[in-house]
Amino acid sequence: MIDKTLATGYLQALFELAKSKNQFQQATNDLETVAKLFRENAHLRKIILHPSVTREEKTRLIESLLAPHLSPLVRKFLLLIVTKRRERILDDVLEQYRAVADSVSGTLRATVQTAIPLADEKLARLKETLEAITKQTVEVNTKVTPEILGGAIIRIGNKVIDGSTASRLNSLRRKLVEVGVS
């Protein structure tokens, strides 16, 4: 828990600084690059996180392997983590960066499940409606789930709005069982 809190603090500082320098999107993209490298290259991850690898070796590795692909701000951020011997929070940093970036930028992510793909105009109207309700920018991801039969299930933040046909049918079935109709 302490590592997650520490990671969040470091990330918030990075994103606030990036925002003040108009480098917010670049910092987000750079952290996505680092996260992808860590996911795809277990050897790199192991070296950076290993306690017996010296700071100097880790610094050289970051400078030679990662620095050419990162903005100076994110490169310095990674070097700061190594210098402060906070490598143990790197997994949490790379896991949480998107949520912290969204929080700093005021963006919410919504997942919309429908039985069939939504037309572009319906998706645009849904996005506008969600932004009007939340008074924030909403990024909508869609997922086709035929099992819901119709309607939609919307997950935004920690809220779920279930307007699916399957859910309504299940609710009706429960009510009919309650009154003794079988």
Examine the domain organization and report whether 12 and 90 are in the same domain.
yes
Name the pTM for this structure: 0.65
Among 84, 104, 124, the domain-final residue is 104
DSSP result, the chain: -HHHHHHHHHHHHHHHHHHHTT-HHHHHHHHHHHHHHHHH-HHHHHHHH-TTS-HHHHHHHIIIIIGGGS-HHHHHHHHHHHHTT-GGGHHHHHHHHHHHHHHHHTEEEEEEEESSPPPHHHHHHHHHHHHHHHTSEEEEEEEE-GGG-SSEEEEETTEEEE--HHHHHHHHHHHHHHTT--
- Total domains in the chain come to 2
Examine the domain organization and report whether 85 and 98 are in the same domain.
yes
Residue 181's pLDDT band (boundaries 50, 70, 90)?
Answer: low
User: What CATH number does the domain containing 110 carry?
Assistant: 3.40.30
User: What CATH number does the domain containing 97 carry?
Assistant: 1.10.520
Examine the domain organization and report whether 174 and 143 are in the same domain.
yes
Examine the domain organization and report whether 98 and 32 are in the same domain.
yes
Examine the domain organization and report whether 74 and 89 are in the same domain.
yes
Examine the domain organization and report whether 91 and 174 are in the same domain.
no
Residue pLDDT, tens place only, 29-41: 999 888 888 888 8
pLDDT of residue 88 exceeding 90: no
The whole-chain average pLDDT of the chain stands at: 88
Give the range of the structural domain holding residue 170, as residue numbers without chain letter.
106-178
User: What pLDDT is attached to residue 4?
Assistant: 78
